[in-house]
Amino acid sequence: MDGYLIASVGEKGSGPLQFNVPSGIAISPITGQVYIADRSNHRIQVLNPDLTFSHSFGSEGPANGQFQLPHDIAIDSQGLVYVTDTYNHRIQKYSPDGMFMGQFSTKGSGPGQLWEPIGITIDTAATGLVYVSEGGNHHISVFTSDGVFVSSVCSNIDQFNSLFGLKFDEDGFLYGASVEGQENIQEILMKQLVLCQYLCALSILRTGGHFVCKVFDMFTPFSVGLFYLLYRSFEQVCIFKPVTSRPANSERYVVCRSLKEDKQSVNQYLFIINETIHELRQDEEEEKDILEVVPNNLLQTEPFYTYITDSNDRVKPYYRVVDMISTFGDLRLRNCKGLGDVPTLDVSHDEWFIAPIGVIFCKVLQEPWQLHFSQSSGRLYFFNYKTNKSSFEPPRESISPF
């Protein structure tokens, strides 16, 4: 676990080894094969241990063996595969080679019913029970391997609308995480988690290793202080914002390149900070917290301070419409049901593309110019609805000035 990429596989699409929103993954303890929930392709893809394609199963629909956006996968000690069939509100069970073996539960809020099951895990070390988290019900439902309902747990944490990534550790403790429905306070919820991710990276990376971490806060003294410690620990650090992210939210990616040899002092300091936060939160009578981890005068040293302030303020328009076309390859008009079937510009691009922080697209077409899509040529063109003039190249007068 040194932080180096060993291998990657797949691309966007619907063929073998192509994915459309992969969301869940599990490895068979019997064969070592990798099972991936290919969510928007409504199927499960199975890869061999060397990541070559083995087979896939499932298609879109409500019948047995079909899925509506499968979200997660769990595999028991016998190699049997359990899938959360989210919008069919059920769990489906398969043999290792993808043969349908059964399904259990129906939509609802009663005992044994599921509402948009999301996460799934199996207590393989002890009971063999199946634990399922849901998007619609604020608890985790527990079933036997045959689908017999046992109980509901975590019903006392109804502030968690959706628990993702359920997993048991080696001691039998169940872990889950959620900020669903609480996006506006992600910064608060993620504070100690981000600290632990930084701490984990510094603990397991070898000298020269790299690290990437998703964060939701780069403007409070606490988070900037953590980033400063990474700045002191790596040869290069950068902050990126995905173009798929809403411009107004605080989502960022911290990218660190080449860990320095002397990391021990920062590592030990983060351990102390984490333990202190934990101790402060044990006091139920008085709310206490750590607000900063690095003195303000250190944060204002050059060039660190300049980089932070510039990156948080950089919300200038970077691309014109024509630049967006060349960058993302495919722009098209589609009807947006959420807006009453109003035609809306849709951008298709690599989900993992990230651009410098703060990039937003402000350049718009000047009235009466519109961007249309030609079915015959398969290309976008610019159209003036007053003069009926059209052009594949953007006319100068069609682009709004900054």
103 found inside a domain: yes
CATH number at residue 174: 2.120.10.30
Q: So what's the pLDDT on residue 80?
A: 97
Tokens of 103: 């399904």
Same domain, 146 and 215: no
| pLDDT of 357 strictly over 50 | no
Instruction: Please confirm whether the linkage preceding 356 is cis (ω < 30° from 0).
Output: no
93-107, 209-223, 250-264, 313-327 — which one is most confidently predicted on average? 93-107
Among the candidates 256, 285, 314, a domain finishes at: 314
Q: So what's the pLDDT on residue 177?
A: 63
For residue 214, which of 247, 244, 250, 254 has the smallest C-alpha distance? 254
**Amino acid occupying residue 328:** F
Q: For residue range 168-221, what is the model confidence (pLDDT) as tens digits?
A: 877 777 777 665 555 445 555 567 788 888 888 888 888 888 888 888 766 678
Same domain, 75 and 171: yes
> Is residue 327 a contact partner of residue 348, using CB atoms and an 8 Å limit?
no
274 found inside a domain: yes
Question: Radius of gyration (Cα) for the chain, nearest Å?
Answer: 25
CATH number at residue 387: 2.20.70
In the block, residue with structure tokens 């932070």: 308
Q: For residue range 309-327, what is the model confidence (pLDDT) as tens digits?
A: 665 554 333 333 444 444 4
For residue 248, which of 360, 402, 349, 355 has the smallest C-alpha distance? 360
Same domain, 173 and 254: no
Mean local confidence (pLDDT), 112-131: 91
Same domain, 196 and 155: no
84 against 384, higher pLDDT: 84
105-119, 250-264, 345-359, 361-375 — which one is most confidently predicted on average? 105-119
Mean local confidence (pLDDT), 240-257: 72
Same domain, 33 and 69: yes
For residue 82, which of 153, 145, 31 has the smallest C-alpha distance? 145
198 found inside a domain: yes
**How many other CB atoms are found less than 10 A from the CB of residue 216?**
20
Same domain, 24 and 163: yes
Same domain, 64 and 169: yes
Give the C-alpha separation, 18 to 10, whole Å.
5
Strands (DSSP E) found in 123-265: 130-134, 140-143, 149-153, 164-168, 174-177, 211-215, 234-242, 252-259
In which domain, by residue range, is 47 found?
11-181
For residue 47, which of 66, 73, 68, 69 has the smallest C-alpha distance? 73
SS3 for 282?
A: coil
- Terminal-residue alpha carbon distance, the chain: 48
**Residue 237, beta-bridge partner list:** 256
Same domain, 70 and 155: yes
Tokens of 145: 């391997």
Same domain, 297 and 349: no
Same domain, 346 and 309: no
SS3 for 268?
A: helix
177 found inside a domain: yes
Is the pTM of the predicted complex or chain greater than 0.85?
no
Q: How many domains are there within the chain?
A: 3
Same domain, 151 and 220: no
Same domain, 347 and 375: yes
Give the C-alpha separation, 124 to 101, whole Å.
19
